[in-house]
Amino acid sequence: MNSTTTKKNNNRNNNNNKNNNNNNNNNNNNNNNNGSGMFNPPPRYTRKTHVLEHFGDIRDDPYHWLRDRRNAEVRRLLRRENNHTESIFTAYGGTKLRRTLYREMRERWKEEDASLPHRHDGYWYYTRTVTGADHPLLCRRPVDTQTTTTTTTTDADVINGSSSSSCSSFVRDVARLWARNPAAPLPRSAEEEIYLDVNLLMRELRLESVEIGDAEVSPDGKRLAVAVDCSNGREVYTIFIMNMTDVNYRQWLHEHSQLHRAWAEAVERGKQSIYVSPTTRLPPPSSSSQRSATMLNSGKGRGRVFGNNNNNNNNNNNNNNSKERSKSSEMSMEFPVGEEDTETKKEVTNTTLPSSSSSSSSSLSSSSTISMDSSSSSFASPSVTTNQTRGKQTPPTHKITRRIDVFDASDEILWLSPNALLYVGIDSKMRSCRVIHHDLTVPVDSEQADTICYEEIDEAYWVSSLCFTADECFAMFTVASGNCSEVYVIPCDVGTKRFITGVPVVRTSLTEEEEEEETEEREEDHRENNNDNNKEEEKKSESHNNSGSSNGNSIHEFKKENKCPVFCFLGRESHVDYDVDHHESFFGEGIGAWVMVTVNAPPVEENFRVAYLLDDDIEWSEKENDANSNSSSSSSSSSSNNNTYTLSSISQWRPLFAYDPYISVECVECQRDYLLISARRSAFPTVLLLPIRTLWNRWRSMNNNNNNNNNKKTGNIINRKYIEPLSLQYDTVDLYTIACQAPSRPLTEVCFSLKQLLQEQQKQKQQEEEEKKEKKLNNALDGNYDERLHGIMSSTEDTSFNSRSWRIIVTHLTTPTTTLGCTLEMKPKTKKKRNKNNKKGKDDKLTQEEGEEEEEEKEKEEEEMILRVTRLYDAVVCGTPYESNDYEASVVWVPSDYAFQNGPLNPLPTAVPAETVHIPVYLCWKKSLRVPGGNPMLLTVYGSYGDCCDVEFESERLVLLDRGFIWAAAAVRGGGELGVAWRDAGRRLQRATSVNDFVSVALYLQRQEDKEEEKEKEEKKRICWCAPGRLVISGASAGGFVVTAAMNLAPSLALGVIATVPFVDCLTTLLDSSLPLTVCEWDEFGNPQEDATVYKMIRAISPMDNIPPAGVVLPHLLLQTAWNDTRVGYWESLAFTARLRERLLGATSTSSRNINTNTTNTTTMRNNDGIILHHCEFDAGHGGASGRYQRLKEIAREYSFALLVQQAT
């Protein structure tokens, strides 16, 4: 039925296009009799009374019935809305424009691309993208361990040729290749293994769309666990376990099938995707090969491209019942994929087909050589035929050994050992609430295969972040709500890293019978422990020596058979939102510590502080400590339970850095020799570097007089002194400085002295502070803004804890992303030998051993820390040569009360009047197209959940900039750009602040100064950014709530509104706790079920409940939703569309809006309402289409809408 309907709609649209182009009526076309003569009319919605009453407020929801997805009328309405939208686009040239934009954006891509490799457990891992393929290929190649003896091999050594290892050669060749030609594809190596082809996996599983979560390789490197969304975007994942095998289809093509090889040649000649099935238009393989090749060439290699919804070829294959045809169809369904370099493709195209498979193999072996210069020795030509592959006639496939679907899963996986893993399960409301242990040593359908280790029963909390600590000594997972979290810690086995045996079982509540059984087990264990004290002491000693813990009981002493201990680091009763990591030598060898980043720890004004807790301060004990025993039992769903023990209390934590109001720390990445601190300064991300040597020296200086020598074996320190908090601005190196001074040419290297960098940084800070004093700024937030436009993020090069190398990613609005390789080194200086006999004063009283230690410390302090920086890669923009100097970017700080200062506009209500601050707005444009009177503008926003508006270069954006647009993004309150206070200012009872901020930004950008203002500002005249009446605003999800609420508040604010999966019916949704994630959402908006004040506030800002009355002109509106969206239901935007259309009853039809006419009278623009368009993706979820090409089509639709509405008059 659906395919028939689609055909009819396509025929109708084609006929309409012919009528419009030929300016005549086709009497045979019945679908064109719609009254408009140009458009498919929008559907009419049936009203059904549905009364909602809460706190005495009665609301009628006449479109509540649209929630029933089983109702065929709902799907019919969505399809009619799609047809109406498509007809509008077609009538005004939008379809052609959309295709043009899609083509231009795609031409800017480097479709045959690969990521820079990173090293992990003896392999280099990287991803590839293939032309015509929606999804990536995950690849790896081994590291030559015979020549690689250290884990600290750096990109600098690789590129400079100072290392002889094959892994260094590989990285050097990658960087050198892209330095010569950034657009060149990465050639294949004989050692390369494509262990996951997402495109192939989608075909094997027969999915229309696919999303991949974690894809984790087992510790022994032999298995792959991958989380696959098999639910068409509903975010319900299934875990697949597969053996690590090479699924390089193109190599298999060369080795075997004559038919497939002919297809490959035809694909090259026809410029088709390699994902076109070679058998969809061919006879069975049993037919003559010459005939097959002839038919293939006549068909020019065209067939079904995956990602499209055309299933005709599959239906034809399924209807053929012959064995040979079935075999051919099976080969087509399991069609794998590979990719070669350009030179290989050309040579394969020119190869003459041999008459036999053996000769074909030899022919291809001699012809399929990669044309590279001698310097690229690591790119050997692919091995075409091997003893293992010779004679195989089946295509390569993923060797799936088991499918784990006992529980619906999220996208997180963590291997505990080669035979066990953890994954996160979800409940019926799509909340991740379980940690599940899977045992691969038992059958998949066994009851012992899947064990629930932890289950969170409080619906306000969810489970996430399965990971190991940086030093790989502990596994962790986090249970969190919007403003509180607790981390559970699982110690690794004694003497191992990233290896845990046993099942870490934790329960949040126990029945009475379970409590009795648990008590009996503990008493029995206690008696056994008392009867065998000697063995227990040995266990304690052994565990202590391996864990570095000196106080309390061993962390392994009460481990039961087939169970391993689990500890809560800090319980939720402390109301602290925190992240944690562990460093085994934080203040010196054997002096380990935990590092915490707290978001809302007391005192409140010191949010985003970094703290630490020594291993010696933690008591790994079965007895509940003070923090746990004093915990309140205010909620029956609290995680305080009988078999989980809290390790610390907030009072034990020590500040590592003093609080800085201008820097918001987001996370700390621990490596053995340094810390990378991801932070935000002036709303832009940056990375701060702190060498561990700094902490070691501070610790030694504070505890130098303590009796350390007598306690080296135990790690105890008598009268221990903690270090003073460091300064984020003066004790760390801001890598933003490095990025600004980085080498401009690829493969060039610059060395920096950390000491000199810190000195220069301190001088710069002092100058900035003096300038701020001169400006006499009013508040702290005002002192935060400047015009910094570069974003800095860190990336791993080697996942080993001992690695001294990392990468930083430098982003900018108008400059393609740059990757820099960094290495921290110690450069010894000339040392003068000191004679301890010449010491005077205090030194004469030191013992010989203490004097030697001080001598050694002073010599170490003379070593200089060097940061070696190499420019590795600049992202390429293909197509028309791109010059970043032709474009410009800026950040503008807008007063948050601008819209409400003098005009009649009143802000949306908040519990407390919002403080006046300045909102950062990021803009970019093409210099030559800038107009003094203002340009058309696309302004985007999100402003929710503390998420940050990280702006970076996107080649897709150029199609707008090259057409005269200014692109802008507003970082309104509710986001996390300026810290937790910025977030809290736009949530719960202050939620309307996000909307008010956005309205001020939108009006400010369209402001034009009058003559008096121009006279007062002759020296610094302001140029209007956006021409009045030419603004298009855009937001997705919570951002869709912001733009639609702003539209209701100020209908004349924008010319057009693009709202994708918008949260427009927030009041009705938040009142229905049966819907997915509603309870979790209460932390952001408040709970309108129980709090009348919250209900009143949400009632006043809900877009659905505050639509302006008829007669108020609204802008053009494009609403986009997804059928499988579990976060924001499709019915919200559909009911919103119905209500907006309801306003137009008796008014001018929306389809009659004058667009693309020759009139020049702009005053008629607002004579009637804008067009209301609604589009639904039926094979997508909240995140939109799954493939990169499908996502590009979505962007093209939005951009074409923004361009089309500019023609409105």
Residue 710 exposed, middle or buried by CB count within 10 Å (0-12, 13-18, 19+): exposed
Whether the CA torsion 1117, 1121, 1127, 1130 is positive or negative: it is positive
Look over the chain and give the mean of its residue pLDDT values, rounded to a whole number: 77
Q: What residues contact residue 613 under an 8 Å CB cut-off, 6+ apart?
A: 593, 594, 596, 648, 652, 653, 654
Listed in order, strand segments (DSSP E) in 833-883 are 864-874
Does residue 593 form part of some domain? no
Q: Check whether residue 859 and residue 730 sit in a common domain.
A: yes
pLDDT band for 683, please (50, 70, 90 cuts). confident
Tokens of 1189: 């090409």
Does residue 775 form part of some domain? yes
State residue 262's pLDDT score: 62
Does residue 268 form part of some domain? yes
Residue 505 has a CB neighbour count (10 Å cut-off) of 18
Does residue 271 form part of some domain? yes
Q: Check whether residue 158 and residue 270 sit in a common domain.
A: no
Percent of the chain predicted with pLDDT > 70? 67
How far apart, in Å, are the Cα atoms of 537 and each of 493, 533, 557, 1200? Answer: 18, 6, 9, 73
User: Please, which residues bridge with residue 791 across strands?
Assistant: 811
Secondary structure of the chain: what % helix, strand, coil (to 5)? 35, 25, 45
User: What does R_g of the chain's alpha carbons equal in angstroms?
Assistant: 32
State residue 1169's pLDDT score: 77
Q: Does 394 or 34 have the greater pLDDT score? A: 394
Mean of pLDDT values over 760-785: 64
Q: Check whether residue 730 and residue 868 sit in a common domain.
A: yes
Q: Check whether residue 176 and residue 294 sit in a common domain.
A: no
Question: Which of 244, 278, 245 minimizes the C-alpha distance to 262?
Answer: 278
Rounded-to-integer distance, Cα 1183 and Cα 1163, Å: 39
Residue 10 clears pLDDT 70, i.e. is over it: no
CB 261 within 8 A of CB 243: no
pLDDT in tens, 818-868: 999 999 998 766 555 555 455 454 455 445 555 555 555 555 455 788 999
pLDDT band for 741, please (50, 70, 90 cuts). confident
Of 536-545, 903-912, 1178-1187, the one with minimum mean pLDDT is: 536-545
**Angle, alpha carbons 177-886-808 (nearest 5°):** 45
Does residue 149 form part of some domain? yes
Whether the CA torsion 2, 5, 9, 14 is positive or negative: it is positive
Residue 258 clears pLDDT 90, i.e. is over it: no
Q: Check whether residue 178 and residue 315 sit in a common domain.
A: no
How far apart, in Å, are the Cα atoms of 159 and each of 164, 874, 1050? Answer: 11, 15, 57
Place of tokens 């076309």: 29
Percent of the chain predicted with pLDDT > 90? 52
Question: Which of 486, 496, 635 minimizes the C-alpha distance to 567?
Answer: 486
CB 665 within 8 A of CB 610: yes
Rounded-to-integer distance, Cα 226 and Cα 202, Å: 13
pLDDT band for 5, please (50, 70, 90 cuts). very low
Q: Does 612 or 1146 have the greater pLDDT score? A: 612
Q: Please tell me whether residue 956 adopts helix, strand or coil conformation.
A: helix
pLDDT in tens, 410-452: 999 999 999 999 999 999 999 999 999 999 999 999 999 999 9
Looking only at the bridges linking them, the beta strands covering 674-681 and 654-655 are unpaired
Q: Check whether residue 725 and residue 863 sit in a common domain.
A: yes
Residue 548 clears pLDDT 50, i.e. is over it: no
State residue 327's pLDDT score: 36
State residue 231's pLDDT score: 93
**Helix pair 1188-1204, 72-91: axis angle to 10 deg:** 60
Residue 1163 clears pLDDT 50, i.e. is over it: no
pLDDT band for 32, please (50, 70, 90 cuts). very low
pLDDT in tens, 797-810: 888 899 999 999 99
Burial 334-352 (b: 16+ CB within 10 A, else e): bbbbbbbbeebbebbeebe
Q: Check whether residue 865 and residue 743 sit in a common domain.
A: yes
Q: Does 494 or 554 have the greater pLDDT score? A: 494
What is the secondary structure of 713-782 as a DSSP string?
A: TT---TT--PPPPBPTTTSSEEHHHHHHTS-SSTT-EEEEEHHHHHHHHHHHHHHHHHHHHHHT-SSTTG
Residue that terminates a domain, selected from 367, 400, 428: 367
Residue range(s) defining the domain that contains residue 162: 111-191
Cα-Cα end-to-end distance for the chain: 41
CB 1029 within 8 A of CB 1048: no
pLDDT in tens, 265-300: 665 555 555 454 443 333 333 333 333 333 333 333
Mean of pLDDT values over 1103-1116: 94
pLDDT band for 781, please (50, 70, 90 cuts). very low
Residue 910 clears pLDDT 90, i.e. is over it: yes
Q: CA dihedral in degrees (908, 914, 918, 924; nearest 10)? A: -30
CB 1100 within 8 A of CB 992: yes
Q: H/E/C letters for each residue in 873-900?
A: EECCCCCCCCCHHHEEEEEEEEECCHHH
Residue 464 has a CB neighbour count (10 Å cut-off) of 15
Listed in order, strand segments (DSSP E) in 1037-1128 are 1056-1060, 1116-1122
State residue 336's pLDDT score: 33
Of 1015-1029, 1099-1113, 1191-1205, the one with minimum mean pLDDT is: 1015-1029
Q: Check whether residue 791 and residue 711 sit in a common domain.
A: yes
Looking only at the bridges linking them, the beta strands covering 935-941 and 966-970 are parallel
What is the secondary structure of 723-740 as a DSSP string?
A: PPPBPTTTSSEEHHHHHH
Mean of pLDDT values over 949-967: 95
How far apart, in Å, are the Cα atoms of 411 and each of 133, 214, 229, 230, 432? Answer: 22, 6, 8, 11, 10
pTM over 0.85: no
Q: Check whether residue 149 and residue 294 sit in a common domain.
A: no
Burial 44-80 (b: 16+ CB within 10 A, else e): ebeeeeeeeeeeeeebebbbbbbbeeeeeebbebbbb
Q: Does 13 or 853 have the greater pLDDT score? A: 853
Tokens of 247: 């699924």
Residue 611 clears pLDDT 90, i.e. is over it: yes
Residue 1019 has a CB neighbour count (10 Å cut-off) of 5
Residue that terminates a domain, selected from 367, 401, 429: 367
Q: Check whether residue 789 and residue 718 sit in a common domain.
A: yes
Q: Does 948 or 1155 have the greater pLDDT score? A: 948
Q: Check whether residue 752 and residue 824 sit in a common domain.
A: yes
- For the chain, helix (H) and strand (E) counts, in that order, are 31, 40
Q: Check whether residue 174 and residue 255 sit in a common domain.
A: no
Rounded-to-integer distance, Cα 53 and Cα 968, Å: 41
pLDDT in tens, 573-596: 888 999 999 999 999 998 999 999
pLDDT band for 250, please (50, 70, 90 cuts). low
Q: CA dihedral in degrees (1136, 1138, 1140, 1142; nearest 10)? A: -150
Tally of domains in the chain: 4
Does residue 377 form part of some domain? no
State residue 56's pLDDT score: 94
Residue 724 clears pLDDT 50, i.e. is over it: yes
How far apart, in Å, are the Cα atoms of 580 and each of 57, 585, 661? Answer: 45, 16, 22
pLDDT in tens, 63-88: 999 999 999 999 999 999 999 999 99
Does residue 824 form part of some domain? yes
State residue 853's pLDDT score: 54
Q: CA dihedral in degrees (402, 406, 410, 413; nearest 10)? A: -40
State residue 712's pLDDT score: 44
Does residue 769 form part of some domain? yes
Residue 1148 clears pLDDT 90, i.e. is over it: no
